[in-house]
Amino acid sequence: MGTEARAGRRQLLVFTSVVLSSLALGRGAVYTSEPDVRVPEDKPAKLSCSYSGFSNPRVEWKFAHGDITSLVCYKNKITVPPSKPTVHIPSSATIGSRAVLTCSEKDGSPPSEYYWFKDGVRMPLEPKGNRAFSNSSYSLNEKTGELVFDPVSAWDTGEYTCEAQNGYGMPMRSEAVRMEAAELNVGGIVAAVLVTLILLGFLILGIWFAYRRGYFDRTKKGTSSKKVIYSQPAARSEGEFRQTSSFLV
């Protein structure tokens, strides 16, 4: 049996091959031609082992780091425990609107499933079937990590955390983020509309006052262009001089 793994950053790879069957009865053996494998950082490492004396064995590869041993490969698939998930939770949401909370992590193999907690209590998939969450309307997708409130209710105010787990290693939980469910600020909207109407009224009144005072007429007179009229001089005899042309400005 063999497997490939990638060397972790600043870590010595120590892998143990475990064959589970009748090993306890002493009828089988596990061998490896390279008990100590050293590879450069971020380079692939090929590990191999062989066994004999087992019927239908289950082969596992485990990673040992200090006092911690975790499963790395099972059924020819590499396993990696989840990392700390990243969440996007709005700090406030308007009651009656739609709010979307997301949770994800990129290191887990196989892909993690996600569970949400409100004020430290795990949220069920069906809120209406749970007395503690029956006042809330939400949908929860454990595969994508998306939690959707539609609509948001006053009861949805609280601290939310997300947990990622894939059956390998320890589940990882995000930091708690508080979301406040608030009423629509109708008073503020009405006040803003009134202020806008008052300012618009003052603007219209100012334009009307300026028109009544003749400001616009004076502006037109002051900027009107002047006309220049030129008359062609008449023919005159030699030696005769008199003004024969004029300009009117």
Q: What is the pLDDT of residues 170-204, one digit of tens each?
A: 899 999 999 999 987 666 777 788 888 888 888 88
Please list the alpha-helical segments (H only) found in the chain: 186-212, 215-222
Terminal alpha carbon distance of the chain? 110
Which residue type, as a one-letter code, is found at position 86? Answer: T
- Write out pLDDT tens, residues 110-143: 899 999 999 999 999 999 989 999 999 999 999 9
Length of the chain: 249
Residue 151, judged by CB atoms within 10 A of its CB (0-12, 13-18, 19+), counts as middle
61: closest CA among 80, 43, 44? 80
The answer to whether 208 and 197 have CB atoms below 8 angstroms apart is no
Region for residue 239 given its phi and psi (left: phi exceeds 0; alpha: psi -120 to 50; beta: otherwise): left
HEC string of 107-164 equals CCECCCEEEEEECCEECCCCHHHCHHHCCCCEEEECCCCEEEECCCCHHHCEEEEEEE
List C-alpha distances in Å: 74 to 1, 18, 56, 131. 11, 10, 14, 40
Structure tokens at 82: 């989840």
pTM score: 0.55
Strand partners, 31: 50
d(CA 91, CA 179): 5
Tens-level pLDDT at each residue, the chain (249 residues): 555 555 444 344 444 444 443 344 456 888 888 878 888 888 888 888 888 888 877 777 777 777 776 667 766 777 888 999 999 999 999 999 999 999 999 988 889 999 999 999 999 999 998 999 999 999 999 999 999 999 999 999 999 999 999 988 889 999 999 999 998 766 677 778 888 888 888 888 888 888 777 776 665 555 555 555 555 555 555 555 555 555 445
81: closest CA among 2, 159, 8? 8
- Sign of the Cα torsion 17, 19, 25, 31 reads negative
The answer to whether 69 and 154 have CB atoms below 8 angstroms apart is no
d(CA 48, CA 45): 10
59: closest CA among 100, 104, 2? 2
